[in-house]
Structure 1
């Protein structure tokens, strides 16, 4: 009896984005050292925020994975498995403002909506949506 190979697709945060967040931490640290008390507070809060996001990206770089059994979404709140039966809609939401176009992948799973940008996925959200639609039974 031959085993059927199941392909699993993964989308992860690009290393360039993690490096940019780490650089933000360094810039905030320099601003905190060189500034006054107000600047120390603001730079400290911004630096801590960037550090939390950078550490999250290093610990859990894969944001979305999909296979025949469904989706796995990973974020700040942990990891969640979503079966294809629970996915109501997959679409790309596109907004144009100030000459820039922002695209978000929207996965509607009942009571939850998961949003991903190309900075979360490391790939075009349109291509990811097309791949998910092909995988969805």
Structure 2
């Protein structure tokens, strides 16, 4: 059986790179040589470009097979966790100030891993269902 994979949507790194370019263009058009505005704009543009680079270098954020789950932790490091080490897979829903957020939550006992809809490329509920079904059928 091939592993299930969830990845960042391709439009996200493109949008981040376009945002970095737009920020520099806007400051060059309206900055009037202010060094503080340039410093802030370049710092934010570098951060956006780095964030986009992470999406391009490690687009698959989560994969699963009968042995367990492999996920990206940190910037691009991958960590494999066997099914017996996973205590819980669920969707964390929060409503705050009129905004609703949903994250896939993978609890390994020693660490908690959260994945947003943007990192997974699909709804966290669908991923949780697939992971729990795969976990139930995994050899023990």
Q: What's the TM-score, normalizing by structure 1?
A: 0.90
Give RMSD over aligned pairs. 1.3
Q: Which residues of structure 2 form unaligned runs of 5+? A: none
Q: Distance in 2 between matches of 1:88 and 1:33?
A: 51
Aligned residues: 132
Which of 7, 12, 36 is the equivalent residue of 2:7?
A: 12
The equivalent residue for 1:43 is 41
The equivalent residue for 1:79 is 78
1:126 shift after superposition: 0.5
On the 8 A contact 2:69/2:80 being kept in 1, the answer is yes
1:32 shift after superposition: 4.0
Any idea what SS the aligned residue of 1:106 has? strand
**Match status 1:24 vs 2:23:** no
Q: Which residues of structure 1 form unaligned runs of 5+? A: 1-5
On the 8 A contact 1:31/1:40 being kept in 2, the answer is no
Deviations 1:63-103 (A, max 9, x none): 00001010000141501111001111111111112322110
The equivalent residue for 1:3 is none
